[in-house]
Amino acid sequence: MTTRRHDLDWVRVCAFGLLVLYHIGMYYVSWDWHVKSPAAGPAIEPLMFMTSPWRLSLLFLVSGAATAFMLGKPSQRFLRMRSWRLLVPLVFGMLVVVVPQAYYEVVEKLPGGYTDGYLAFYARYLSGDGSFCREGDCLALPTWNHLWFLIYLWVYTVALWLLLRLPSKVIERIRHRLAALLLGSGLLLWPALLLVVVRIALVARFESTHALVDDWYNHAQYLPLFLLGFLIAGAEPVWQRMENSRWMALSLAVITYAFIAWYFGHFNDEVNPPPDVMKMLQRAAWGLNQWTSIVAILGFARRWAPGDSPALRYLTQAVFPVYILHQTVIVVAAHDLKPFGIPPLLEGLLLIMLTFAACFGGYEIIRRVNWLRPLFGLKRNPPSPLLAAAAHPAP
């Protein structure tokens, strides 16, 4: 598995792009977030439900497949290199990048407001001050906020690395049996059934916390998909089956999305609570939508995605720094735009443009500064031949 899958590169780039748009949308919906627009309400929530079930699940599956391709290259330092790429940006992000998110959350939500300034807050942030509370809900500091994806991906990578201590014959047997299971109707049936069962059994018992240690519903969906991506990475018949099933998967995804959007638009736990039967149907539809959307996206990407190009190579390198920066940019820009009273539609478009411009502008700086690159998940650039020659002159 040494041939690069450009269709998966495009899927990863587009999925992270959708993540940026989703987080901009979080400023305008009624759901809790770090900062909120005065015009926040349910208007665009149906659009948010278009990606909510599958967006992160898709990223974990693609990450699992990418891990298989990385391991296909000869390297005895895989875990060390993967840890460096994930944990260094995580620590740096917690100490520097995400701090403004917590600061503006305190400024906007703390009863009576917060007026001590950023530096005073930063000192309390580093000390783990847990006294920023509202109605018994206290902000946990320091925090990884949107960078939770990095620690989850690292933990799943370690789990996979430990599983690969099994004899290679056992791993190959698992791969072959899984590939056989996913041929024919099994492709749409078995993973969807797993996700349906997980949602029905766990979503009401374990709130989504992204705190790693108590996030059992998310682990139950993301870890299997990460492992699935790893195991099917080289299974050409499975990917071909995804391509062949793309229209059926898309049809099921559209039908289940329509039901999910109707359900959350019609029922409300406080005003109009749903019957238990409807709750179970919604959870089943969510799990089915989760998997069929993934199959449809991967199937169409395999069929239609452009191949390699300078644009893809640029975006593939940029996506990690952009991901690390984007939510802080959104929070700061949204808070600072609020006093201007810009109409929500115009403000939202402005936020989109500002976020992508700032993040790609940040990437342009990061990729040129060698000591910054590892802090944002990029490899250091090798020294130029002239510098290398100067550092190691010929005898």
Confidence of residue 271 (pLDDT cuts 50, 70, 90): confident
pLDDT tens-place string over residues 73-90: 655 588 999 999 999 999
Task: Give residue 214's pLDDT band: very low, low, confident or very high (50, 70, 90).
Answer: very high
- The answer to whether residue 106 sits within a structural domain is no
pLDDT band at residue 167 under the 50/70/90 scheme: very high
Average of per-residue pLDDT values in the chain: 94
Q: How many domains does the chain have?
A: 1
User: Is residue 395 pLDDT above 60, yes or no?
Assistant: no
Worst-scoring range by mean pLDDT, 47-56, 86-95, 267-276? 267-276
pLDDT in tens, 329-353: 999 999 999 999 999 999 999 999 9
* Assigned domain for 179 exists: yes
pLDDT for res 42 = 95
> With pLDDT > 70 as the criterion, what percentage of the chain qualifies?
95
Over residues 65-72, mean pLDDT: 89
* Predicted confidence band of residue 392 (pLDDT cuts 50, 70, 90): low
Residue 295 counted as domain residue: yes
The residue written with tokens 């959708």 in the block is: 18
In a domain, 384, yes or no: no
Encode the chain in three state secondary structure.
CCCCCHHHHHHHHHHHHHHHHHHHHHCCCCCCCCCCCCCCCCCCHHHHCCCCCCHHHHHHHHHHHHHHHHHCCCCCCHHHHHHHHHHHHHHHHHHHHCHHHHHHHHHHHCCCCCCCCHHHHHHHHHCCCCCCEECCEECCCCCCHHHHHHHHHHHHHHHHHHHCCCCHHHHHHHHHHHHHHCCCCHHHHHHHHHHHHHHHHHCCCCCCCCCCCCCHHHHHHHHHHHHHHHHHCCCHHHHHHHHHCHHHHHHHHHHHHHHHHHHHHHCECCCECCCHHHHHHHHHHHHHHHHHHHHHHHHHHHHHCCCCCHHHHHHHHHHHHHHHHHHHHHHHHHHHHHHHCCCHHHHHHHHHHHHHHHHHHHHHHHCCCCCCHHHHCCCCCCCCHHHHHHHCCCC
| Any domain includes 138 | no
Say what the pLDDT of residue 383 is.
75
Domain range enclosing 366:
6-98+144-376
| Best CA proximity match to 194, nearest among 283, 287, 297 | 287
What pairs with residue 357 in β-bridges?
none
Per-residue pLDDT at 112? 87
Quick: pLDDT tens for 215-258. Answer: 999 999 999 999 999 999 999 999 999 999 999 999 999 999 99
User: Is it the case that residue 172 has pLDDT exceeding 70?
Assistant: yes
The answer to whether residue 382 sits within a structural domain is no
Cα dihedral sign, 248-249-250-253: positive
Residue 177 domain flag: yes
Q: What is the pLDDT of residues 350-376, one digit of tens each?
A: 999 999 999 999 999 999 999 999 999
Say if residue 394's pLDDT is above 80.
no
Tell me if 394 is assigned to some domain: no
Q: How confident is the model at residue 269 (pLDDT cuts 50, 70, 90)?
A: confident
Residues 389, 393: Cα–Cα separation, whole Å:
5
Q: 71 falls in which pLDDT band (50, 70, 90)? A: confident
Predicted TM-score (pTM) above 0.85: yes
Q: Could you give the CA distance from residue 121 to residue 358 in angstroms, rounded to a whole number?
A: 24
Task: Give the closest residue to 50 by CA, choosing from 253, 213, 201.
Answer: 253
Comparing 269 with 335, which gets the higher pLDDT?
A: 335
Which of 169, 168, 167, 191 shows the shortest CA–CA distance to 179?
A: 191
pLDDT at 160: 95
Distance CA 364, CA 373 (A): 11
**Nearby residues of 391 by Cβ (< 8 Å), 6 or more positions away:** 383
- Of 12-26, 264-278, 308-322, where does mean pLDDT reach its minimum? 264-278
Is the pLDDT score of 299 beyond 80? yes
Look at residue 75 in the predicted model and tell me its pLDDT.
58
Q: How confident is the model at residue 135 (pLDDT cuts 50, 70, 90)?
A: confident
